[in-house]
Structure 1
Amino acid sequence: MFGILFFLAVIAGWLLWRNRQKTVLREIPLPADYNDILEKEVAYFRKLNNEEKKRFEADVIAFLQQTRIEGIGTHIDDTDRLLVASSAVIPVFGFPEWTYNNLSDVLIYDDHFNGEFSVEGQNRQFMGMVGSGYMNGKMLLSKPALREGFSNKTDKNNTAIHEFVHLLDKYDGAIDGIPEALVDKQFVIPWLDLVHQKMKDILAGKSDINPYGATDKTEFFAVAAEYFFERPDLLKIKHPQLFEMLEKIFKQDP
């Protein structure tokens, strides 16, 4: 009898905890004009149809409810939070109900930060990085880089998307340029063959892909993803095979 009562008490406690968690999520304030901010600041969002926009908004809200976004020595506003959330949603928009179980906090710095942190993979002058070790589960971003990624409409760069792609790459346990959580197994070898060829082209000065992508296959994946989401029209013209492969990986045509 005692065992049954104990079991019921445990279940009741778990249900109470779960309900409290849901309540906490609902209580997190969201900007009343978040839709207007997305329309103004996020070109990807503007291209979606009405049904897709509703799903994008729901994904953004879910991310904001589940992830702490804090300014470190700087003030951040609703636009900064929505840009971070959009950067998270864009790469996984082809995967409904995706959640970043390997991320708890996004820390935003006023400028480039120093290299005292333990990080996975490389970084670009410390504009962004995905933490490991005692910083595991945290992402660091430069506020100017975050905003520049969405304000410049003609380049192929977006630091925040770059870092979220690293996070997706890390989902299988290692940042290695092979997003096993996203890509079907039959595409792994063709993907690696294409990556190596494109890196050779970059090193030979025969490519318009960011030279940082030649650092290693990890950085190539993140740089190519930036290009894919920032300038899909240009990527499709200049690198049709790469565009097609990224379509398969991300399960979307931006």
Structure 2
Amino acid sequence: MRSLFRKSNYLSTLWYQLLVEFGFLKLSKAELDVLSTYFPYYHRLSLKFQREFRERLVLFMNNKSFYGRGGYSEVSVEMKVLISATAIKVLFGFPKTITLSHFDKILVYPDRYYSSHSLQYHNGEVNPKYGIIVIAWKEFIKGLNNPTDGWNVGIHEFAHALKIENKIKYNGEYGFLMPMWWSKYVHLATDELKKIKEGNSIFRSQARENIHEFFAVSVEAFFENTIAFKAYHPEMYECLVFLLRQDPMLLYTGVNVKKDANEKEEGT
């Protein structure tokens, strides 16, 4: 039954992709205004990639169900657009078919919330059993408003979801993180975990919990502390360029963020 449900999600994604490709499904003016006003990553892309970003954004939003929790009766357009745009930012280097289809529900709380799953307070979490991603809006906005502090709840949770989705075999999205680069990344991360525990790393302390948290924190740094990260650990940075199939450093040079990363990959 679960595999049939996942397959139906995959077919739904393909249907929405066709609607987007033929121009029947587009961002509304209100949605485009939010994206254009509050999401700098989008502005740094070339016009070609801005169009792709918009198409992927509307596809993502139509494939997810958003639910307000903790006092929110509904999820606003602004919330849907900015949360979804953060997901597309993480996914942008991958083929359009990678939409985290297993995670079809996004719950939005006003602030930190108590999780009945972990029995702790959270800024966000990922629940693979029920296909849920949870975001605390106040904390999400804090991260979005400071794009250079290496702390972003949205990026963090979508990095977790990405890693889990890579292991799910029955929904059309599987094995997209290249094994060779993942193995190299894990080797480097294991050494870096020791440095974090000794207080000698640029990665924040949450990363020391395990390899899963380290990955999420390093993806935050990849997008938010790009220059410092590459200078501090060029090998690990290169691993993430290949794993995520994009290089945010290119955003600072005016070069297309995906094009050069993919060309480099083809040359290896």
1:48 equivalent to 2:45? Answer yes
1:111 equivalent to 2:111? Answer yes
Cα pair distance change 1:143/1:132, threshold 3 Å: same
Find the aligned partners of 2:26 and 2:80 in 1 and give their Cα distance.
12
Q: Where in structure 2 are the equivalents of 1:180-219 lying within 5 Å?
A: 181-219=175-213
Where does residue 124 of structure 2 map in the other structure?
A: 128
Question: What are the Cα deviations for residues 143-199 of structure 1, in whole angstroms up to 9, with x where unaligned?
Answer: 11121121113311111111111111111448xxxxx83332222332111011111
Q: Which amino acid letter does the alignment assign opposite residue 127 of structure 1?
A: N
Find the aligned partners of 2:163 and 2:147 in 1 and give their Cα distance.
26
Cα pair distance change 1:250/1:101, threshold 3 Å: same
Find the aligned partners of 2:135 and 2:218 in 1 and give their Cα distance.
19
* Structure 2 counterpart of 1:152, from 146, 153, 157: 146
Cα pair distance change 1:221/1:35, threshold 3 Å: same
Q: What TM-score comes out, normalization by structure 1 length? A: 0.80
Moved over 4 A (4+): 25-30
- Unmatched runs of 5 consecutive residues or more in structure 1: 1-16, 175-179
Equivalenced residues, count: 224
- Cα deviation for residue 239 of structure 1 reads 2.1
Contact 2:102–2:131 (8 Å) recurs in 1:
yes
Where does residue 5 of structure 2 map in the other structure?
A: none
Find the aligned partners of 1:105 and 1:242 in 2 and give their Cα distance.
32
Find the aligned partners of 2:128 and 2:181 in 1 and give their Cα distance.
28
Contact 1:80–1:147 (8 Å) recurs in 2:
no
Find the aligned partners of 2:127 and 2:118 in 1 and give their Cα distance.
6
* Structure 2 counterpart of 1:226, from 214, 220, 230: 220
Contact 1:118–1:132 (8 Å) recurs in 2:
no
* Structure 2 counterpart of 1:33, from 23, 27, 30: 30
Find the aligned partners of 1:90 and 1:70 in 2 and give their Cα distance.
22
- Cα deviation for residue 29 of structure 1 reads 9.2
- Unmatched runs of 5 consecutive residues or more in structure 2: 1-10, 169-173, 249-268
Output the aligned Cα RMSD: 2.6
SS at match of 2:29: coil
Q: Which amino acid letter does the alignment assign opposite residue 91 of structure 1?
A: V
Please say which of residues 59-68 and 230-239 is displaced more in the overlay.
Answer: 230-239
Q: Which has the larger radius of gyration?
A: 1
Contact 1:182–1:250 (8 Å) recurs in 2:
no
- Cα deviation for residue 76 of structure 1 reads 3.3
- Percent identity of the aligned residues? 26
Contact 1:28–1:65 (8 Å) recurs in 2:
no
